[in-house]
């Protein structure tokens, strides 16, 4: 069965982009436009990895990360941000990977492959 | 020759009233307004005028010469252990340019701290016991030290070839006018110090205004960078997708390639701006500056060989402990190294020297890339200033702001065939030793 990734980003253009690019890589992709929506989807669906934007209106990525890690300790989360050095924030330490947003998606795809490839 | 020490001679008699004393002897003067009054007023006027110090002193010397029965009035300043001629109102007598310490009548008066009046008979062969070339041809002289707040500023030197001995009033006046000259000098010193401090203040204020401008610019740039970044990412990534979907022979491919290249460039600028603006927090730990420099250099090995650049590394004798955010400090080095490489694209040598010096751990990066045009020295740390075609103008400002966040200094200069950048970070060795000692003592 295909592994399923949940992409959480408030920008529609980016959600669509990640969906198409990751589907091209052979993954199944679910989308959420906000932190709140992502938590609802996680309750309902079976998800193998979360790709999480940090800066979102309402519940931000750091808060989503905290709640995800409380409830689904082993679910891997990749944080995406515009800031190359967000790691000063303690909340982001719990993520499994951390990538800087770029139009070059090579790093993102490789990180997804590294994390999901290791898991049964 | 007779030498009269003024300490005794100048003591006023009880009930002495200098105002009235000489009035009767000055023809054409109204009672109550003596010549002394005139002189004091004139010197005060000079002191209060807008003239420069040397002009004030020359003017004062002329006024004093009109009053005192001498043919020459010289004004000497104490300057690095010698008395040097600063102003003169001249007659026919010789003026010696400078007196070494201890030499001549002037030093005698300065050391005694009181006015000294000397005279000799016109037919006497020489000034016995006083060696002073300035006294050649003179028969009467008065040396008045210029003293204030326990400091000797210099001396007034009056000379004449005539006969005479000063009246008590004139001796009194010599002291008073000397005090006036001292306050004139002190006022002028204070004024120049004041104007220097004021200039410094203006410069500081200008710097402050600049840094406030930068802050405001920074806020704007941060917002812009953030708002532009996501749409840019989307454009760039979709362009890449489109490129993959077009058939290889499609003419649109080269447009997309150009788009991707330009988007990549904007992204790099955005990353630079965000890094410059957002990395304000530093996590300080004790680190070794030597190893930070080595790590930063290692990242550039490929580029060094690609551009035929030789690296000469001179290491410190021991560890160079500093309190630093290792990652940020590496970024500072990265920017300086990248800058050096860009200046030596056709080969050269990068010298990287680390050492402990004067309370600082110092890293010195010098290249052979032609150096910095001196007219740009004032600008190279300003964000967005660049002389390169595709530079962001953020490399050096980032390095500088990181070094400053470490309470250090980044200095730029030229040396030999290239530029030299010096990072100075306070040496943490001393503090560390101090914090370890009590713990050891307790154990």
Q: What is the pLDDT along chain A (120 residues), one digit of tens a residue?
A: 789 999 999 999 899 999 999 999 999 999 999 999 999 999 999 999 999 998 888 998 888 998 998 899 889 999 887 765 555 555 556 677 888 888 889 989 999 999 998 765
**Cβ separation of A17 and B237 shorter than 8 Å?**
yes
* Residues in chain B within 8 Å Cβ distance of A101: 229-230, 233
- Asked which of B255, B278, B301 is the last residue of a domain, the reply is B278
Res B61: pLDDT: 94
Q: From B223, which residue of chain A is nearest by alpha-carbon distance?
A: A82
| Residue B218: CATH number of its domain | 1.10.287
Q: Other CB atoms closer than 10 Å to residue B393's CB: what's the count?
A: 18
Tokens of B367: 């290249």
- Residues lower than pLDDT 50 in chain B: 5-26, 431-443
Residue pair B405/B282 in contact (Cβ under 8 Å)? The answer is yes
CA distance A51 to chain B (A): 15
Residues 6+ apart with CB under 8 A from B306: none
Q: For residue B264, with 0-12 CB atoms within 10 Å meaning exposed, 13-18 middle and 19 or more buried, which class applies? A: middle
Q: How many inter-chain contacts (A to B, CB under 8 Å) are there?
A: 58
Q: How many CB atoms lie within 10 A of CB A4?
A: 15
CA angle B238, B242, B245 (to 5 degrees): 140
Contact A85 B267 (CB under 8 A): no
Tokens standing for residue B6:
């003024």
Paired tokens of B211: 């840094």
On whether both B175 and B291 belong to a single domain, the answer is no
Tokens of B199: 């200039």
Which residue ranges form the domains of chain A, and what is each CATH number? 4-118 (3.40.50.2300)
pLDDT value at position B272?
A: 72
Do A78 and A90 contact (CB within 8 A), yes or no? no
CATH of the domain at B339: 3.30.565.10
Residue B292: inside a domain = yes
Bridge partners, residue B288, by sequence = B321
Of B232, B278, B327, the CB nearest to A83: B278
Q: What confidence tens digit (pLDDT) does each residue in A87-100 have?
A: 555 555 667 788 88
What residues of B are in contact with residue A20 (Cβ under 8 Å)? 241
**A84 vs B234, B260, B271: nearest CB:** B271
User: Looking at the structure, do residues B114 and B14 belong to the same domain, yes or no?
Assistant: yes
Query: Which residue from B406, B433, B237, B420 is spatially nearest to B318, judged by alpha carbons?
Result: B433
* Closest A-chain CA to B241: A21
Q: Strand order of the sheet with strand B98-99?
A: B2-5, B116-119, B140-148, B151-160, B72-79, B82-89, B98-99
Dist CA A97 CA A5 (whole Å): 14
Q: Are the beta carbons of B230 and A101 separated by less than 8 Å? A: yes
Domain assignment present for residue B31? The answer is yes
Tell me, yes or no, whether B129 and B239 share the same domain. no
Q: How distant is the Cα of B250 from the closest Cα of chain A, in angstroms?
A: 22
**Does the distance separating the beta carbons of B225 and A21 come in below 8 Å?**
no
Partner-chain residue, chosen from A20, A84, A88, that has the shortest CB–CB distance to B275: A84
Q: Does B86 share its domain with B8? A: yes
- Is B234 close to A104, i.e. CB distance below 8 A? no
pLDDT, residue B22, reads 43
Nearest to A14 among B225, B234, B264 (CB): B234
What is the rounded distance in angstroms from the CA atom of residue B357 to the CA atom of residue B433?
17
Give the per-residue pLDDT at B125.
Answer: 74
Q: Report the alpha-carbon distance of residue B294 to residue B233 in Å, rounded.
A: 34
Does residue B44 sit in the same domain as residue B185? yes
Flag if B233 and A100 touch (Cβ within 8 Å).
no
Cα radius of gyration rounded to whole Å, chain A: 13
Q: How far is A31 from chain B (nearest CA, A)?
A: 16
Q: Which residues of A touch B283 (CB under 8 A)?
A: 88
Query: Cβ contacts (< 8 Å) between A85 and chain B: which residues?
Result: 275, 278-279, 327
In a domain, B440, yes or no: no
Last residue of a domain, one of B252, B278, B304: B278
User: How many whole angstroms separate alpha carbon B201 and alpha carbon A43?
Assistant: 64
B26 CB-near residues (< 8 Å, 6+ apart): B34, B35
Residues B269 and B228 in one domain: yes
Domain check: are B87 and B208 in the same one? no
| Number of domains composing chain B | 3
Residues B146 and B261 in one domain: no
**Residues B314 and B238 grouped into a single domain:** no
The answer to whether residues B242 and B378 belong to one domain is no
Residue ranges making up the domain that contains B271? 195-278
Cβ proximity of A12 and A53 under 8 Å? no
Q: What is the DSSP string of chain A?
A: ---EEEEE-S-HHHHHHHHHHHHHTT-EEEEESSHHHHHHHHHHS--SEEEEES--SSS-HHHHHHHHHHH-TT--EEEEES-TTGGGSGGGGGSSEEEE--S-THHHHHHHHHHHHH--
Residues B389 and B251 in one domain: no
DSSP, residue by residue, B320-354: -EEEE-HHHHHHHHHHHHHHHHHHTTT-EEEEEEE
HSE-CB for B208 with a 13 A CA cutoff: 6
The answer to whether the CB of B409 falls within 8 A of the CB of B424 is yes
In a domain, B89, yes or no: yes
Q: Which of A21, A88, A101 lies nearest to residue B229, judging by beta carbons? A: A101
Query: Tokens 């997804």 correspond to what residue?
Result: A112
In a domain, B438, yes or no: no
Do B149 and B178 sit in the same domain of this protein?
yes
Residue B115 in domain: yes
Taking contacts as CB-CB distances below 8 angstroms, the residues of chain A near B233 are: 14, 101-103
The full length of chain B comes to 443
The answer as to whether B206 is a domain residue is yes
* Chain A contact set for B260 (CB, 8 A): 103
> What does R_g of chain B's alpha carbons equal in angstroms?
37
Q: Which residue of B has its CA nearest to A83?
A: B274
* Residues of B whose CB is below 8 A from A84: 271, 274-275
Residue B345 lies in a domain: yes
> Are the C-beta atoms of residues A87 and A44 closer than 8 Å to each other?
no
Q: Of B148, B150, B145, which is closest to residue B185 (Cα–Cα)?
A: B148
B374 DSSP assignment: G
CB contact under 8 A, A13 and B274: no
Last residue of a domain, one of B193, B215, B248: B193
Question: A82 to each of A96, B144, B230, B247, B328, how far by Cα in Å?
Answer: 17, 77, 8, 33, 18
């Amino acid at each position: 069965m295909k592994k399923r990734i949940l992409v959480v980003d408030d920008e529609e253009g980016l959600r669509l982009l990640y969906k198409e690019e990751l589907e091209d890589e052979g993954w199944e992709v679910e989308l959420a436009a906000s932190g709140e929506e992502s938590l609802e989807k996680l309750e309902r669906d079976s998800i193998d990895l979360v790709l999480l934007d940090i800066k979102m209106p309402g519940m931000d990525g750091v808060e989503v990360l905290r709640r995800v890690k409380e409830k689904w300790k082993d679910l891997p989360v990749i944080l995406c941000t515009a800031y190359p050095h967000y790691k000063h924030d303690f909340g982001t330490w719990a993520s499994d990977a951390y990538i800087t947003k770029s139009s070059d998606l090579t790093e993102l795809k490789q990180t997804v492959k590294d994390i999901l490839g290791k898991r049964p | 020759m007779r030498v009269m020490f003024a300490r005794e001679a100048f003591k006023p008699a009880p009930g002495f009233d200098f105002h009235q004393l000489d009035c009767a002897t000055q023809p054409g003067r109204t009672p109550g307004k003596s010549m002394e009054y005139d002189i004091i007023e004139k010197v005060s006027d000079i002191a209060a005028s807008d003239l420069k110090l040397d002009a004030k002193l020359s003017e004062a010397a002329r006024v004093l010469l009109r009053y005192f029965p001498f043919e020459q009035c010289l004004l000497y300043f104490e300057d690095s252990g010698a008395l040097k001629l600063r102003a003169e109102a001249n007659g026919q007598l010789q003026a010696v340019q400078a007196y070494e310490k201890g030499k001549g009548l002037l030093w005698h008066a300065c050391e005694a701290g009181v006015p000294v009046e000397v005279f000799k008979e016109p037919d006497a062969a020489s000034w016995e016991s006083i060696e002073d070339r300035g006294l050649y041809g003179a028969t009467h002289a008065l040396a008045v030290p210029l003293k204030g707040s326990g400091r000797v500023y210099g001396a007034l030197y009056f000379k004449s070839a005539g006969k005479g001995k000063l009246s008590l009033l004139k001796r009194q006046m010599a002291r008073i006018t000397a005090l006036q000259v001292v306050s004139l000098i002190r006022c002028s010193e204070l004024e120049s110090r004041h104007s220097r401090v004021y200039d410094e203040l203006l410069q500081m204020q200008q710097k402050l205004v600049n840094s406030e401008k930068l802050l405001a610019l920074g806020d704007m740039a941060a917002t812009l960078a953030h708002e532009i970044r996501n749409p840019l990412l989307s454009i760039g990534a979709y362009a890449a997708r489109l490129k993959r979907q077009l058939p290889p022979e499609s003419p649109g491919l080269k447009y997309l390639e150009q788009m991707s290249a330009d988007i990549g460039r904007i992204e790099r600028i955005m990353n630079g701006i965000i890094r410059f603006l957002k990395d304000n927090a530093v996590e300080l730990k004790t680190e070794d500056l030597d190893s930070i420099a080595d790590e930063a250099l290692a990242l550039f090995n490929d580029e060094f060989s690609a551009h035929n650049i030789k690296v000469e590394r001179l290491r410190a004798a021991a560890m160079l402990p500093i309190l630093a955010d290792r990652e940020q400090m590496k970024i500072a080095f990265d920017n300086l190294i990248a800058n050096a490489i860009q200046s030596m694209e056709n080969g050269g040598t990068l010298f990287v020297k680390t050492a402990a010096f004067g309370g600082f751990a110092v890293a010195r990066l010098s290249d052979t890339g032609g150096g910095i045009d001196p007219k740009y020295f004032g600008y190279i740390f300003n964000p967005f200033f660049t002389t390169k075609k595709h530079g962001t103008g953020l490399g050096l400002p980032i390095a500088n702001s990181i070094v400053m966040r470490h309470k250090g200094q980044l200095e730029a200069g030229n040396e030999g065939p290239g530029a030299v950048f010096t990072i100075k970070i306070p040496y943490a060795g001393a503090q560390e030793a101090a914090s370890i000692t009590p713990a050891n003592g307790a154990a």
